[in-house]
Structure 1
Amino acid sequence: MKKIKVDILDITVKLPETYCIVSQHEYDKLVKQSDKGRYLSLSDILEILSVSRPWLLENALYKPDIRKEIDIGQNSNGFVKYPENKGGHYYFLASKTRDYFEKHFAQIFKV
């Protein structure tokens, strides 16, 4: 196969004013920062993880060792507000929740 060398030093690419180019590292950093201070519902978490509610409750949220790490009622460094009564709502701090499930994937999803 022949190779063709093209000199592109004099090419100008115009972007609309509403666009910018950033490095992948900068993009990843911006995406991560977008979760800071944002709360997620249980429905949001189920959609992110693509699991059923019973599965998540049984394999993560109700496991004592996991709950001890994530429940703000049991750990000041936790990031999940468990419901105070049946039918109550869960609240998840988005940034820490995403990090936790990334780091503990094997532990939670082990067979």
Structure 2
Amino acid sequence: MQELSVNLTIPIPEDSILITKNEWNELKEEKLRGVYWDMKQLEERIHRKQDWIKENILYQPRFIKKLDAEKGGFVYYPRAKGQKWSFQANKMADFLDKHFSDIFIQ
């Protein structure tokens, strides 16, 4: 079998850097670490209204055990009138990505 060996130089623009996929994922996660969303921010993030989010995600039996902070999750479910929803942004974003088809394709 014949082989061809090539030495190739690809210029990277001055305003760019090359990083690994792992480094990129760590940077994305770090950006959301310590950030919390309220319901309005979650609505804006997934382009759905609160009623839809509650019906299709937050109160779905298949998800509630994973989500509820009282069960070890990352969503604070209001327990009394006047309390607000709270979501750990990085974990909620991961959950939405992981369960995209379960949520949006029914």
Tell me the equivalent position of 2:3: none
Query: Where is the helix percentage greater, Structure 1 or Structure 2?
Result: 2
Distance 1:93 1:43 in 2: 14
Distance 2:32 2:45 in 1: 13
Query: Whose Rg is larger?
Result: 1
- Unpaired segments ≥5 residues, structure 2: 1-8
Tell whether 2:101 aligns with 1:106: yes
The root-mean-square deviation of aligned C-alpha atoms, in Å, is: 2.5
Tell whether 2:56 aligns with 1:59: yes
Output the TM-score relative to the length of structure 2: 0.76
Output the TM-score relative to the length of structure 1: 0.73
Distance 1:59 1:86 in 2: 22
- Unpaired segments ≥5 residues, structure 1: 1-7
**CA drift at 1:109:** 1.2
Q: What is the aligned length? A: 98
Distance 2:69 2:25 in 1: 27
Q: Which runs of 4+ in 1 moved over 6 A?
A: none
From 81, 86, 92, the equivalent of 2:81 is 86
